[in-house]
Amino acid sequence: MRYYIIIPTYNEESFIQLTLDSLANQTVLPSKVIVVNDNSTDKTPEIVSTFAKENPFVRLINRNSEAIHLPGSKVIQAFHEGEKHIDDNYDLLVKIDADLIFPSNYFETIINHFESDSRIGMAGGFCYIEKNGDWVLENLTDKDHIRGALKAYRKETFKEIGGLKPAMGWDTVDELLCKFYNWKVVTDTSLHVKHLKPTGASYNKTARYKQGEAFYTLGYGFWITAIASAKLAMMKKKPLLFLDYINGFWKAKKAKTPLLVTKEQARFIRNYRLQKMKEKLF
């Protein structure tokens, strides 16, 4: 299976070389890697350009945007820029972050999953971060969720879910829509990917409110949002984040922020979330 990778980047001079090296060392090489330099002020574009000269499957695209970083919108807008520079001759489309080190068999294993079942729409491994000299699971989500840092999509699935949404929650709504359209989402616990820059390291309070807004735009409703907010705040070991998330939800509701899904999809999502909660409780 042919796979294309799009990498949105912003000021990743400390990590991008390591990420590209790990891609060049894959047992099954990507057919294309599009690196979208989103207005970096460091040496990110120079590092990518030098690498691309010796690895012709890599291409650098420069994009100008505002320097303000909010989770979701900026990175997916950069991803969309990358989409403009690929053709349709791929089987899998992959979005990754620019601060990852993949094991050499990562994409061979991912391809094997997709080839094993034509209804698998998404697949991914797990992110590990360094703590006290050890690499430990970056445990921010359930084991059946693929982190936004390393999403791989079957082409047909990617098109049916409408691609990626430029808003926080994009890496949740994609999986929920997969399930809405009866695609399977597969995670592989044997695939350990080193995540060199922990998630959310640079997020400010405005960004934290965005998480509550994301719960609203996913169609969760208040009670599911409250439970999800409490769980996420506890997983991050910052209980007061719960208040930020709830405030974000109410602000979005008051502003009548558009949902990322249709009413029918929102009903499906609420029922799915409630069912998952019941399974864990009982």
Asked whether the CA dihedral 82, 83, 85, 87 is positive or negative, the reply is positive
What token pair was written down for 216? 């609203």
What token pair was written down for 19? 């990420």
Cα angle 196, 127, 146; round to 5: 135
Pairing of strands 184-195, 100-101: antiparallel
Any idea where the domains of the chain sit in the sequence? 3-195, 205-281
Spatial distance between the Cα atoms of 119 and 115, rounded to a whole number of angstroms: 10
3-state secondary structure of 134: strand
Spatial distance between the Cα atoms of 44 and 261, rounded to a whole number of angstroms: 35
pLDDT in the model for residue 59: 97
Cα angle 271, 277, 282; round to 5: 125
Asked if 99 and 19 touch (Cβ cutoff 8 Å), the reply is yes
* Helix and strand counts by DSSP (H, E) for the chain: 10, 9
pLDDT in the model for residue 276: 85
Spatial distance between the Cα atoms of 45 and 62, rounded to a whole number of angstroms: 8
pLDDT in the model for residue 176: 96
pLDDT in the model for residue 165: 93
3-state secondary structure of 254: helix
What token pair was written down for 16? 């991008």
Which residue has 């690895």 as its token pair?
A: 55
Asked if 11 and 90 touch (Cβ cutoff 8 Å), the reply is no
Angle between helices 44-54 and 16-24 (to 10 degrees): 20
Low pLDDT (below 50) residues in the chain = 201
pLDDT in the model for residue 235: 83
Helix (H) or strand (E) holding 265: helix 263-281
Q: What pTM was estimated for this model as a whole?
A: 0.90
Q: What is the CATH number of domain 3-195?
A: 3.90.550.10
pLDDT in the model for residue 232: 85
Cα angle 94, 267, 272; round to 5: 60
Which residue(s) pair with 100 in the sheet?
195
